[in-house]
Structure 1
Amino acid sequence: MHAWPASEVPALPGKGRDLRIHDTATGGRITLDPGPVARIYVCGITPYDATHMGHAATYNAFDLVQRVWLDTKRQVHYVQNVTDVDDPLLERAVRDGEDWTELAERETTLFREDMTALRMLPPKHYIGAVEAIPGIVPLVERLRDAGAAYELDGDVYFSVESDPHFGEVSGLDAEAMRLLSAERGGDPERPGKKNPLDPMLWMAAREGEPSWDGGTLGRGRPGWHIECVAIALDHLGMSFDVQGGGSDLAFPHHEMGASHAQVLTGEHPFARAYVHAGMVALGGEKMSKSKGNLVFVSALRRDDVDPAAIRLSLLAHHYRSDWEWTDQVLADAVERLARWRAAVSRPDGHSAEALVEEVREALADDLDAPAALAAVDRWAARQNAEGGTDEGAPGVVSRTVDALLGVAL
């Protein structure tokens, strides 16, 4: 599966700072110190309704991570999946009377177009669940043969008790996990499971649903968590730098994935940092496909909203915060974009050397994009009010905003 084209990232003078970021597993900030190649895995979409502002906010957060790393003169090895076969996708296809593969392809194409418009840097490897199945099956077989998985009516479940580190990612107690498991795709009430929290690794073929050859597992399709584990281990290996996604993925998805990988390899941790973006609400409730309260990037683009303004509306909120999308949020972003463009359109201006360092410091401090925007606001306000004599300043500001914030002025 192919990703989307990369926009050029301007090189800035000097060098960026190492990223200090909030790690869900430890509950505090850690300083990331990758080697020459920083490794990041971000969980992708289930392509039956893409791309709403919650998606955009999540991928914007991890785009900033990449940009901070690139500014430190590192290379970035970024991997993202597409869950192109799963219950919600199949259910939507049945509801709409559409072939599930056509639905997945159409929505994945739309997602690529949205990511391109928003100038999100693409992953090096963009992998669909279906194409990953040949690599998933041997992992499930290994877990089963090692006694870390068991069969139940043809389905194969992972035993969470096989991982002594289970629970360390989310830090939740058993009851909280059970409630979230029921809400987020698990089946804690199924009779016969060794532990209510045990997640499915391989679903035996169901009538009328797609299935694949699972070797000794029989025909079926993979569970959600093992999909990402197989892709991450294949392309990044253990102890990569950042596992990212929305805050609703901390449990069960990232918790279960970490346990799968740790049992498979005998190593710990799966990822050095677990980083989670906040939720975006509309009308007082979290944007949700199931609720239908969504604002789509593609719809805004069809209404001729500048993608740079959409991106600024995301950057105005700290990535870990939960916030609400409103017409005013977008109006503020449109107005900010106009002010910035007016400021950099002058032939000269105030020195921008201090601004570059302010933006770098803000982003290195747990991706504090609102502080970075405030720094550019101050420069733009002075520039629009007084002007300046530094002929290179407007260009430096434009390149800084592009390189570090992904906004083209």
Structure 2
Amino acid sequence: MSSSDTAAMYDGEGSGSVAAKDTISIPQARGSERQSTPSSNANKNNLVGDYDDNSDDSNENGRKERFWEYFAHFRHFCGDLVNHPFIDKGIILFIIINSVMMGIATFDFVTENPDIEHDFETVDKVFLIIFTIESALQFIFHGFNLFTKGELVFDLVIIVLSWFAEDLQIIRAFRVFRVLRLVTRIDTLRKLVSALFSVLPRLSAITALLLLVFYIFAVLFTALFKDLPLDERYFNRLDLSLYTLFVMMTMEWAGVARQCMEYHKWAWAPFVAFIALSGFIVFNLIIAVICDAVAVIEREDEEEVSIADQQDERVDELSKKIEGLLKNQRELQATLDLLSKELYNLQVTPSENPTSANITNNSDPSPLKITSTQVGTY
């Protein structure tokens, strides 16, 4: 075999090997492509799953936000409804009517007639339902902040006890205390209650003085009149003496004093001393303190009114000043409009005159020479 044949054979084998390699590599590449397709599909599926999860979470968050938004609107609607002046006055009217009916229900013509008593109980049940709806609306509006308002808590407790303890007459009778809500609606009562609470620190000293007077005279009366055979046991013990002195402080002391004077002619002296100290001095001090507190509240109200009046006067003065400034502005604007028209006329008139046009269009930079005719034109 010649060298050329050997080279040809070598070339043929080489080309065949290359072709074989090429024919083998193509299926492998296609197989690799087929093998990579499931993994890419899996990645795509994972991405789609993550997108679905995110979309589900966003939808869930959107539903929650819409729910709380609707609930907030509902809360504000309940608050506007239950605190509306018309509804508030209606509830006050129902409280007054219910309180009056509870008083009428104690008369014999109601208690001795089962039909009338049943009608009263039915009407009372209707009022209880109305008050329950009101408390429910208040709870929806205020939430747990309702328990920070004493008035609303008292109403809620009375209503709950009324539903769960209908057979207990004492619980039903406590509903009459709802009429105390009128205190916050009437200005005079509100001022009086505010005055009472404001004078409590000063009343503590007067109360301590009154208790001291009570104790001294209770010991004195027990020692002086303990052994007297009176109709009642007025001064046999210290506690009985304190109770008797409290009754005497209400000016019911003449009968007790006369019984003691039957055995001791001088018995009137300690009675008069106690009445003078407790009834005339201490109580007058209490009344004076309360009146002073009411006067202070009245002065505060007058000061608030005067401050409001001063603010109204300042607002009126500022309104007048603003009106004057607006008037001056309108006059100034009219003057500016007139001046602008005059300037416009001065600019338009020379452009219409041919002589002035020649002067304007003259390109000679030398000084302008205006003749007498042109001056007359201007």
TM-score (normalised: structure 1): 0.22
Higher RCO by CA contacts (8 Å cutoff, separation 6 or greater): 1
Which structure's CA Rg is the greater one? 2
The normalised TM-score by structure 2 is 0.24
> Greater share of helix residues, 1 or 2?
2
